[in-house]
């Protein structure tokens, strides 16, 4: 009996030790875009505005690091986006969603259907970005609740333990009001990227790129972001600007047009390709 008790205590001790080690181990990383960004590499995301899964998969397998799924300025629904992400599960480009608004409902729906990046538009208050981060993260880091979703089937049975580490949060500054508190926005725990929204900075300020006052807005965002130790985002056209590492590329319609133009110019003469081989 005494030997059995000792053996039982030994087994229990080993189980506790293994559990503690698992809890202290670094979480599994599957958001390759976030890993690259953490290494200081530039990452680029193509913008998706249509619900066609084949177009989504073409974009997801074309060389982008992530896809900027545009739900703020498109009629895309969460059900449509869920189908798109599922249709191309395992693709190299990570699914990021620009949510329609920074509400708990929008953010949690986006996470539940499989987003690994949450892009928050029109951030111009610290309270807004803090709340958005909270509802992106599971407790104890945040307030995201458990619910039905396809995330487990996409990312594994340990999703609950790995989700917080893998999500990438982007705060978009689009107005002078946001620029004025860029330092506070950038310092909010959980924010990974501060994005200088080139078009709306001009729209809200009445200024144009290249003008001194416009460039001063961008410089303020740049300095506040780097001082807080965050990454800096902007349009792909700004890829040569100093310290920018996160980029939004144009929409699928633009790339279809560019691809058609390039294909027509390079179309070979001679034997016709086998139908379906291009896939």
Selection from 195, 192, 188, 193 nearest residue 130 by Cα: 188
The first and second tokens of residue 120, run together, are 């928050």
Report the DSSP beta bridge partners of residue 193: 170, 231
Catalytic residue among 28, 73, 160, 208: 73
Rounded to the nearest angstrom, the gap between the alpha carbon of residue 41 and the centroid of all alpha carbons in its chain is 15
Of 213, 233, 221, 235, nearest to 184 (Cα)?
221
7: number of CA atoms within 13 Å, CB side? 4
Q: E strand or H helix at 245, and its extent? A: strand 244-251
Angle between helix axes 198-205 and 212-227 (nearest 10 degrees) is: 130
Q: Is 222 among the residues known to form the active site?
A: no
Can you tell me the distance from the alpha carbon of 259 to that of 57, in angstroms, rounded to the nearest whole number? 16
Q: Which residues are catalytic?
A: 73
């Amino acid at each position: 009996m005494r030997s059995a008790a000792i053996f039982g205590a030994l087994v229990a001790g080993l189980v506790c030790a293994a559990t503690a080690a698992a809890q202290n181990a670094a979480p599994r990383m599957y958001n390759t875009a976030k890993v690259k960004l953490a290494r200081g590499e530039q990452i680029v995301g193509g913008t998706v505005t249509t619900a066609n899964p084949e177009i989504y998969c073409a974009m997801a397998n074309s060389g982008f690091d992530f896809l900027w799924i545009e739900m703020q300025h498109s009629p895309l629904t969460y059900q449509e986006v869920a189908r798109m992400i599922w249709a191309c599960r395992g693709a190299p480009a990570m699914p990021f969603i620009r949510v329609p608004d920074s509400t708990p409902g929008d953010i949690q729906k986006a996470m539940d259907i499989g987003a690994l990046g949450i892009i928050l538009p029109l951030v111009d208050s610290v309270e807004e970005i803090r709340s958005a981060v909270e509802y992106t993260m599971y407790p104890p880091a945040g307030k995201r609740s458990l619910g039905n979703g396809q995330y487990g089937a996409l990312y594994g049975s340990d999703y609950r333990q790995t989700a917080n580490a893998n999500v990438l949060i982007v705060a978009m500054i689009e107005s002078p009001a946001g620029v004025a508190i860029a330092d506070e926005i950038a310092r909010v725990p959980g924010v990974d990227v501060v994005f200088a929204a080139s078009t709306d900075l001009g729209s809200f300020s009445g200024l144009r790129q290249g003008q001194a006052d416009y460039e001063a807005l961008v410089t303020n965002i740049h300095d506040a972001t780097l001082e807080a130790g965050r990454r800096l985002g902007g349009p792909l056209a700004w890829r040569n600007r100093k310290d920018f590492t996160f980029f939004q590329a144009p929409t699928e319609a633009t790339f279809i047009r560019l691809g058609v133009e390039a294909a027509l110019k390079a179309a070979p003469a001679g034997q016709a390709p086998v139908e379906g081989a291009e896939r």
